[in-house]
Amino acid sequence: MPVDLTFSCNPTGEATLVDNSAVQVSPGVTRKSIVGSFGCPESRSDAGFPEPYTSNNEIKRSLTKIQNDALGGIAAGLLGIVIAITAIILNRRKSQ
């Protein structure tokens, strides 16, 4: 037996089609009511609580940026150590 269940999204969340009549569908089967809508889904960015939703791609980009910044900081620190060691060696040679 074919069944047609058409439902739609309603931004107010209230039912748009309400049929409370009793209809004999088949022997022993009676339809008592039909409600034909539901609240519309919200965007994921509005669903986060208390912070807004962050997508996986945004998290991945942030982690990649942090890793790149950390590598740059490590490289700058190593360069500073090399310069300091060079300065100490040159200073000792001058004083001898």
- Looking at the structure, do residues 37 and 4 belong to the same domain, yes or no? yes
| Per-residue pLDDT band at 33 (split at 50, 70, 90) | low
> Which is higher by pLDDT, 31 or 79?
79
Q: Is 3 helix (H, G, I), strand (E, B) or coil?
A: coil
Q: Is the pLDDT of residue 36 over 70?
A: no
Asked if residue 6 is part of any domain, the answer here is: yes
Asked if residue 49 is part of any domain, the answer here is: no
Q: What is the pTM of this model?
A: 0.40
How far is 86 from 79, CA to CA, in rounded Å? 11
Domain that holds residue 21: 1-41
* Predicted confidence (pLDDT) per residue in 7-18, tens digit: 677 777 665 566
How far is 56 from 64, CA to CA, in rounded Å? 12
- Looking at the structure, do residues 58 and 96 belong to the same domain, yes or no? yes
How far is 56 from 96, CA to CA, in rounded Å? 60
Asked if residue 76 is part of any domain, the answer here is: yes
* Predicted confidence (pLDDT) per residue in 48-93, tens digit: 677 777 788 989 999 999 998 999 999 999 999 999 999 999 999 8
pLDDT at 66: 92
pLDDT at 35: 64
Asked if residue 58 is part of any domain, the answer here is: yes
| Per-residue pLDDT band at 43 (split at 50, 70, 90) | confident
pLDDT at 28: 82
What domain count does the chain have? Answer: 2
Asked if residue 89 is part of any domain, the answer here is: yes
- Looking at the structure, do residues 37 and 73 belong to the same domain, yes or no? no
Give the amino acid at 28: G
Asked if residue 47 is part of any domain, the answer here is: no
Query: Would you give the DSSP letter of residue 91?
Result: H
H, E, C per residue of 19-88: ECCCEEEECCEEECCEECEEECCCCHHHHCCCCCCCCHHHHHHHHHHHHHHHHHHHHHHHHHHHHHHHHH
